[in-house]
Amino acid sequence: MSETEQVIALSEQEEAIRDLTRRISDQDLAPIADELDRKEEFAHSVFKKLGEAGLLGIVIPEEFGGSAGSFLSAVLIMEELARNCGGTALSFGAHAFIGTYNLFKFANPEQRKKYLPDLCSGKTFGAFALTEPENGSDAMGLQTRAEKRGAKYILNGAKTFITNGSIADTFVVFARTGDAGARGISAFIVERSSPGFASGKPMEKMGMRASPTTELYFDNCEVPAENLLGQEGQGGYFALEGLDMERTLFSGLPIGLMQGALDVALKYSVERKQFGQKIGSFQLVQSMVADMGMKLFVSRLLAYSAARKLQEGKRATLNASYSKLFASESSVASTLDAIQILGGYGYIREFKVERLMRDAKLVEIGGGTSQIQRLIIAREIYRSNGLEL
């Protein structure tokens, strides 16, 4: 039992899900993680195992093929995958949470029955397409347009930085059906086979190289009218509504990176000797280990408590941003400390800490940058104190 679990206890189901994911991560993912990074390949074999284990639909009700797990279960899965490969955890989250769960949350019964069973089993993969080349952090400023023509919507525009963009079969896509602003945005289920749809080649990235990131193109793309999620004009609400969930569950990714880095640093520090002593006995090394352990502990407290709050159906905007900001920045600092402890060996690929560091940097950017999180946090603090800006 970790120190965090003594404060926020896990249920038997959550422990079982964590242990199952840990076995898959250590047995199937760890041996190929370096190769996935070097070749920039998606872990198809690992995702097959995750699908067979019922983990790809972890937060989806059983009636739609899911496992009805808790949000904390989802955080634990992200941790265990990221401990060995951040990119695989990223693609898992993009599929299971912002793709599949958002589709479940906003879809009607017919849409759920049509798409969710295959997404939960891994027969198909999902993705979430909001970001565009010109809008970045201004998520509601998107320019992709959708025009209704008879029984179809015609989409024109482009999306960028789409996780799983080259492998996904089912996309939740946001397009403008009305005037500027959030109320003019609608959401659609778009299949890869839709006429007028295309995805670009995976981008060459600094980290998260096992997770394909691509652009999407809509050139008079035809989407059946029944694939509209909710009603016209609700897409902006849907996108914003899902952010607390995304930021909370994705906090498991930097937590896993921190745990992986700490594991390597601890083992190395008791094996490596300098001046006749284990380097772990040096006070400055112990100082870095202490910082890594503290940041890992606090990150788990923030993420686990935010997940519990979400599970209870409570508003968790402040908790989610606390968790996302602290864990992401801590993962960058901790992976850099791990490299420092290993010295020159930390800088080469023989040890995985340099890969974990490269993976960590993205979590300060994706899902809302650290700067955006600080704005959200400050506004929530004013709000909670009954003050207006």
Helix (H, G, I), strand (E, B) or coil at 157: strand
Q: How far apart are CA 215 and CA 171, in angstroms?
A: 13
Q: How far apart are CA 204 and CA 213, in angstroms?
A: 8
On whether the CB atoms of residues 106 and 233 are closer than 8 A, the answer is: no
CA distances from 81 to 78, 88, 130, 210, 260 (A): 5, 7, 25, 12, 10
On whether the CB atoms of residues 298 and 258 are closer than 8 A, the answer is: no
Catalytic one among 14, 132, 246, 364? 246
Q: How far apart are CA 106 and CA 172, in angstroms?
A: 10
Largest CA distance in the chain: 79
On whether the CB atoms of residues 293 and 321 are closer than 8 A, the answer is: no
Helix (H, G, I), strand (E, B) or coil at 319: helix
On whether the CB atoms of residues 66 and 116 are closer than 8 A, the answer is: yes
DSSP string, 21-67: HHHHIIIIIGGGHHHHHHHT---HHHHHHHHHTT-TTTTS-GGGT--
CB-side neighbour CA atoms (13 Å) of 3: 9
- Which residues, 6+ apart, have CB-to-CB distance to 273 below 8 Å? 279
CA angle, 312 as apex, 308 and 315 as ends, to 5°? 90
Helix (H, G, I), strand (E, B) or coil at 242: coil
Name the CA dihedral angle for 325, 330, 333, 337, rounded to a multiple of 10 degrees.
Answer: -170
Quick one: which H or E segment has residue 174? strand 170-176
Sign of CA dihedral 91, 21, 43, 120: negative
Look up tokens 């909710």; give the residue: 230
Residue 246 is among the residues annotated as catalytic for this protein: yes
Residue 204: DSSP 8-state: P
Active-site amino acid positions? 246
